[in-house]
Amino acid sequence: MSEPAPPSAPSSSGDVGARIRADIITGVHAPGTKLREVALAEQYAVSRIPIREALRSLEAEGLVESRKYSGSVVAPSPVEDAEDLFEIRIVLESATAKRAAKRASELNASDTPDLKWRELRKEISDILDAGDIVIGQERFEDLAVLNMRFHFAVAELSGSVSFISLLRQISGKIEWLYSLNVTRRGPQAWPEHREIMAAIDAGQEAKAAEVMARHVRRSRDSYFAMMSAEPPRTT
């Protein structure tokens, strides 16, 4: 893939959490930086309370690490965990693709139409079409958010809230990973998305899983190839 951008913002308590989150991902708060509550409070123009609650959410996401009475520090850059993160995506997303295909075949067999499924399916079609358009216009930044939306929409097709929740969980680090060094694989990745959806629509569980796994593996390889060519800025 070639994906940054939030799915729908896992969001913390207020949107202060989202702002801190974005500032960590974009490097405003460098890894290892001590995040002092009073400093953040005046920086974001709120009191310490919402700051603290935001830090708890960010801690759960693995973007900061906290110790009692010792404060919070920005987590190490996720580049070290890149291999793990991609492998997690491979196993989780191939599982969701497989489940989505299973649901598709079940829905094809039954005659009662699932409203939510049709809605999601329509959204995916729109995303894919929009992707083709922005590729034609060479607006690759927009492709990145469409890509993220595609992968989460597929996960939602699976109907497995636990899987979706876990993918949300790692989405922060995935975004962080990509924000460090932007890939240009979007155009190549797009036809693969259509291939994935074709397998799902056809109800081919094994193929959907395999195609999704290959897709993520390719984006992993593309990522590491780019990384070795141009190492990330070590903030």
Name which position in 23, 27, 28, 53 contacts DNA (CB under 7 A): 53
In the block, which residue shows the tokens 């993520």?
A: 216
For the chain, the straight-line distance linking the first and the last C-alpha, in angstroms and rounded, comes to 24
The answer to the question of residue 52 lying near DNA (CB under 7 A) is yes
The SS3 assignment for 87 reads helix
The answer to the question of residue 23 lying near a second copy (CB under 8 A) is no
What φ, ψ does residue 182 adopt, rounded to 5°? -85, 130
Nearer to a second copy, 146 or 213 (CB): 213
Nearer to DNA, 16 or 200 (CB): 16
| Residue 193 backbone zone (phi > 0: left; psi -120 to 50: alpha; other: beta) | alpha
Cα–Cα distance, 14 to 18 (Å, whole number):
8
Q: Using DSSP bridges, classify how beta strands 34-35 and 64-67 pair: parallel, antiparallel or unpaired.
A: unpaired
Residue 33, binding choice from DNA, a second copy, none, Cβ under 5 to 8 Å by partner class? none
Residue 149, classified by CB atoms within 10 Å of its CB into exposed (0-12), middle (13-18) or buried (19+), is buried
Q: Where are the alpha helices (DSSP H) in 26-64?
A: 37-43, 48-61
The answer to the question of residue 173 lying near a second copy (CB under 8 A) is yes
Name which position in 23, 37, 87, 142 contacts a second copy (CB under 8 A): 87
Q: Which of residues 4-43 bind DNA (CB under 7 A)?
A: 13-14, 16, 34-38
The SS3 assignment for 184 reads coil
Name which position in 8, 26, 47, 108 contacts DNA (CB under 7 A): 47
Number of residues that bind DNA (CB under 7 A): 23
Nearest distance from C-beta of residue 64 to DNA, angstroms: 11
Number of C-beta neighbours around residue 32 at 10 A:
12
Residue 204, binding choice from a second copy, DNA, none, Cβ under 5 to 8 Å by partner class? none
Q: Which residues bind a second copy (CB under 8 A)?
A: 12-13, 49, 52-53, 56-57, 59-62, 68, 81, 84-85, 87-88, 91-92, 95, 160-163, 165-166, 169-170, 173
Q: Which residues bind DNA (CB under 7 A)?
A: 13-14, 16, 34-38, 45-50, 52-53, 66-72
